Structure formats: C-alpha cells, structure tokens
Amino acid sequence: MKKGTRRNNEVRDHYDFSGGVRVKYADRYAEGTNVVVLDPDIARLFPNGQAVNETLRAVAQIVQIQERRRPALRKALHLTAARLRS
C-alpha cells in the first residue's frame, strides 16, 4: 500500500478533534513555568539553561552592587557641586 503525499502542516482525515478543548491546560502551564524564548544569536552563546541562569545571576549581582553604590555616589557628587559653588 502506497502512502499518499501530504504537506507537513495538514492533519490526516481520520483524526477527530471534535471533542477536544482548545488550550485546555494553557493557564495551568503558564502558572508553573517561566519560559523565555531567546533570539537565535543569543541562544548560540549559551549551550543550556544552566549557562543562561549563571549569566543572569552574575548580571543581577552587578545591578545590586550598582544600586548600593548610587546613594554614596549621589552624595559625593552633591558635596562636590556644593564646594564648587562656594
């Protein structure tokens, strides 16, 4: 028996989805996952999810350090500007 040709995106005639519910588990899935799709050029830089997480943790630490330094930097700039004005 020779198989008929069909396009990859076509559903076979004998499949019956009449009783199916569209996106039945979508809400439950979205609650339990945190999926992010990377652009291809970025995905090539990271071999797996662990590499992405390690990099994001390092960036988060840098951001936290910068946020802690900002008040001291603002104070120093304010004092310097006050000295220049007097």
Q: Which residue has the tokens 């291809």?
A: 40
In this structure, what token pair is assigned to residue 80? 């310097």
Residue by residue, DSSP assigns 35-55 as --PPPHHHHTT-SSHHHHHHH
Token representation of residue 10: 């076509």
Is the pTM higher than 0.75? The answer reads no
Return d(Cα 56, Cα 34) in angstroms, integer: 14
pLDDT by residue, tens only, the chain of 86 residues: 456 665 666 777 788 878 888 888 888 877 777 788 899 999 999 999 999 999 999 999 999 988 888 877 777 777 777 777 76
| Contacts (Cβ under 8 Å, ≥6 apart) of 46 | 38, 52, 55
The encoded tokens of residue 82 equal 């006050």
